[in-house]
Amino acid sequence: MSKAAELAALIGSGQAQGNRNLIINGAMQVAQRGTSVADPSDGTYGSLDRFGFFNSNDGAFTISQETTVPSGEGFYNSMKFDCTTADGTIAAGQYATCFQNIEGLNNSILQYGTSDAKSIVVSFYAKSNLTGTFCYSVRNSAVDRSFIKEWSLASANTWERISFVIEGDTTGTWLGTNGIGSRHMISLSQGSTFSGGTNNAWQVGNKTATNNQVNFLSSTDNELFITGWQVEIGSGAPTAFEHEDFGTTLARCQRYYYKIGSGSVYQRFFMGSCQSSNYANGSVPFPVEMRATPSLESTGTANNYAVYAANSVRVCTSAPSISSTGSSTSVSNVSFGADSLLVAGQAGEMIANNNSSAYLAFSAEL
């Protein structure tokens, strides 16, 4: 068989890879922040990379990385939603939603807002004890255009592949920059302020569900598993999920979030130099270009960190911080304020101070 014939056969079988999935970490492999987050704050990220949560209600749910997966599909991980505190009545302005923001530089291939707007095929594997109607939605950054698609499971506690087509939006404003190009959401519970939209249609406004949306928070027995989330250009059946190697997925995630540590009680973060008797800094190069100049995350506790210089550990007196001077999308200049025993001009290592939970993370999330 010729190479051309081999490639054609691969494409026909759905096994060829082509970076066609606009969802990053759809196989739920990467979890730099940790493998579980309990009742995340509204609009924040937690647990699995690239997935955020809108969360405002009287209940609570936990998100975790699990190994429960559909058989024979090549997956090892899924994302689990587990209702831990019930909210039987969702008030008008309340909601619970999982989302991924697609960067405009990636979303621009769809040409939304033009007469050439392309349709997409959305697919994912789902399993839940609930067989009611859930809603999937796509929204622009201006929050004035949205598409809603109802979906449901035929059988309880059984993996099913959900798929549907969303036609391209020929109107509205859709960013093609490094901002939010589009936001894809799976609704768990929605109050009337955000529900009441029309199924299977583009509409004006901020509607992310129909009135048929199930209330996932109705019982602490409720759980939902999702994996194999894929968004690709097309107008028919979905292709096989685009599995990619772990390193590729990690690098794609690190454009938005890059974490060093934790794990070791004296984790070495980076090399630097002492600028004065109580101040040291150094540069942290990023493994990939970040979406924007990032902000720094740490434990926020100064004495979790130290400078190791002249064969001595100098405990920090202030939490690590980023200096705007010398920082960019490719490198950050990080400062450690330590005790007054440093010697200007000496080299130093920025380390965790006998604390296995200490870490540095750089966030450029959308």
Q: What is the pLDDT of residues 138-179, one digit of tens each?
A: 999 999 999 999 999 999 999 999 999 999 999 999 999 999
Q: Phi/psi of residue 9, each to 5°?
A: -65, -40
* Segment 274-303 mean pLDDT: 96
Question: pTM surpassing 0.85?
Answer: yes
Task: Output the average pLDDT for the chain.
Answer: 94
Query: Mind listing the pLDDT tens digit for each residue in 308-357?
Result: 999 999 999 999 999 888 899 999 999 999 988 999 999 999 999 999 99
Cβ contacts of 310 within 8 Å, gap of 6 or more: 343, 346
- Find the angle CA(230)-CA(79)-CA(232) to the nearest 5 degrees: 5
The answer on pLDDT for 106 being more than 50 is yes
Quick one: pLDDT at residue 339?
86
The answer on pLDDT for 17 being more than 70 is no
The answer on pLDDT for 16 being more than 70 is no
Quick one: pLDDT at residue 3?
43
CA dihedral in degrees (304, 308, 313, 316; nearest 10)?
-40
Query: Mind listing the pLDDT tens digit for each residue in 183-225?
Result: 999 999 999 999 999 999 999 999 999 999 999 999 999 999 9
DSSP secondary structure code for residue 40 in this structure: P
Query: Mind listing the pLDDT tens digit for each residue in 53-99?
Result: 999 999 999 999 999 999 999 999 999 999 999 999 999 999 999 99
The answer on pLDDT for 228 being more than 80 is yes
Using pLDDT thresholds of 50, 70 and 90, give the confidence band for residue 5.
very low
Which H or E run includes 100?
A: strand 95-103
- Find the angle CA(128)-CA(132)-CA(135) to the nearest 5 degrees: 90
State the DSSP string of 193-249.
Answer: TT--PPBTEEEESS----TT---GGG-TT-EEEEEEEEEEE-SSSPPPP----HHHH
Using pLDDT thresholds of 50, 70 and 90, give the confidence band for residue 14.
very low
Quick one: pLDDT at residue 340?
87
CATH class of segment(s) 15-254: mainly beta
Quick one: pLDDT at residue 12?
44
Contact 81, 167 (CB under 8 A): no
The answer on pLDDT for 361 being more than 70 is yes
The answer on pLDDT for 262 being more than 90 is no
Where do the H-state alpha helices sit in 86-159?
104-107
Estimate the share of the chain in helix, then strand, then coil, as percent rounded to the nearest 5. 10, 40, 50
Quick one: pLDDT at residue 261?
86
* Segment 275-280 mean pLDDT: 94
